[in-house]
Amino acid sequence: MTYHKIFLDGIMHMGDMLMTASVLPVLRKHCPDAEIVYLATADLAFVAEMLDGVDRVIPYAYKSGGGTRDVFRIARNLGREKFDLGISLDPRERVTLMKWLARMPVRLSMEQGLGWKLGWEKMLYTQDLPLPPGWEFEVHSLSANFQQMLRLYFHDADSQYVSPRFKPFTQEIEAWCADLMTRHPAPKHVALCIQSSSPTKDWPAEKFSHICNWLIDTYGARVYLTGIPSHEARAKEILKGIERPDQVVDLIGKSSFQQLAGLLSHMDLLLSLDTGTAHVGGVAGCPVITLFTHNSPTLYRAPGPRSLCVSGHAPCSGKYVCAGPKRCPKTDCVDVLTIPMVQEAIESVLN
């Protein structure tokens, strides 16, 4: 089956967007000449535009619990474009109605890749894609789950994982990266993502300092601290414990998203917490080691070709076991994540 104009919607967080972007290599393989249009939340439209395989992005000012009038307006515009295939990566009510009202002849739902099933919305799809027979959801990454679901739809027997990737970076971005790395030469360049949006996913600052000292002493590494302005306080804590601060490049709040992605494409390693930066590194092609606390390291691993996870595997952690950080006051899943475990993972990459 061949499609010429494909509508893809993913109203989700950045990490989920990058993981589910694994459908793009499959779409390009089976519909090489198709125009692929991505509907994304307005604040993440620029990320969708960077994904290789996406031709055009429609920004959607999504607001939970509102915006009903926009559904009809967008559906009317989509209907004029005559899409022959619509795919929902996360089929929420409004995007489901949009495709149905736009009369897209083939409408596919991929919610089973997220581990749940549709309710009444299922009636508005021509097909609710299943996981491949014998495919165990919890023993594969989210990226692999989505990729194999779409392969099954196209009757593609291939099972070799193909990572999503960014489009080539602009000359301006590449020049910025080259200048930065030229000014900071080193045998190894290692980026760190030091803070997440949830304290229950974070690792103690003193442990990050210890790892930085070890990286510098063992590999002569240049360490790049990455993050947004609100991470400055944590960066200062980490820098206090670093014996050779001249080997550290502090980029907290000093780089754009595009610059960060471009820089990660040149790094020897990204050591990241369980947050969106890990997925950015994976799609950029950087070797990624992600530190997991209460989430499943198997399911949420970075979508790149060289992705490792470190987790203490606390018995109460994991997608379908953990009570959630809002209901659990303990720090067991953080405490069991030790420095030697992280060092061993780093050695497996840098050696």
The pLDDT of residue 117 is: 82
Q: Which of 249, 228, 230 is nearest to 239 (CA)?
A: 249
Each residue of 215-246: pLDDT tens digit? 999 999 999 999 999 999 999 999 999 999 99
Each residue of 293-349: pLDDT tens digit? 988 898 999 998 899 999 987 777 666 566 566 777 767 788 889 999 999 999 999
The pLDDT of residue 226 is: 98
CATH number for 171-350 (one of 3.40.50.2000, 3.40.1440.60, 2.60.40.1890, 3.90.1150.10): it is: 3.40.50.2000
Each residue of 161-205: pLDDT tens digit? 999 999 999 999 999 999 999 999 999 999 999 999 888 889 999
Percent of the chain with pLDDT over 90: 77
Q: Which of 270, 350, 262, 258 is nearest to 303 (CA)?
A: 270
Burial class from Cβ neighbours inside 10 Å (0-12, 13-18, 19+) for residue 179 reads: exposed
Helix, strand, coil distribution of the chain in percent, nearest 5: 45, 15, 40
Contact between 143 and 151 under an 8 Å Cβ cutoff? The reply is: no
Q: Which of 153, 152, 128, 104 is nearest to 5 (CA)?
A: 104
The pLDDT of residue 200 is: 85
pLDDT band at 66; cut points 50, 70, 90: low
pLDDT band at 250; cut points 50, 70, 90: very high
Contact between 150 and 129 under an 8 Å Cβ cutoff? The reply is: yes
What amino acid occupies position 35? E
pLDDT at 28 over 90: yes
- Please give the Cα distance from 45 to 154 (Å, whole number): 27
What amino acid occupies position 217? D
Which CATH number is 5-153 given?
A: 3.40.50.2000
Each residue of 81-136: pLDDT tens digit? 999 999 999 998 999 999 999 999 999 999 988 878 888 888 999 999 998 888 88
Secondary structure (H, E, C), 37-63: EEEEEHHHHHHHHHECCCCEEEEECCC
- The model's pTM is 0.94
- Please give the Cα distance from 36 to 56 (Å, whole number): 7
- List the 85-88 sheet strands across, edge first: 56-60, 35-41, 5-9, 85-88, 107-109, 127-128
- Please give the Cα distance from 23 to 151 (Å, whole number): 9
Average pLDDT of the chain to the nearest whole number? 93
Domain boundaries, the chain: 5-153, 171-350
- Please give the Cα distance from 24 to 8 (Å, whole number): 10
Contact between 95 and 68 under an 8 Å Cβ cutoff? The reply is: no
The pLDDT of residue 2 is: 83
Distances (CA, A) of 72 to 64, 76, 99, 235: 16, 6, 10, 46
pLDDT band at 1; cut points 50, 70, 90: confident
The pLDDT of residue 84 is: 96
Percent of the chain with pLDDT over 70: 95
Domain 5-153 and domain 171-350 have a common topology = yes
The pLDDT of residue 65 is: 59
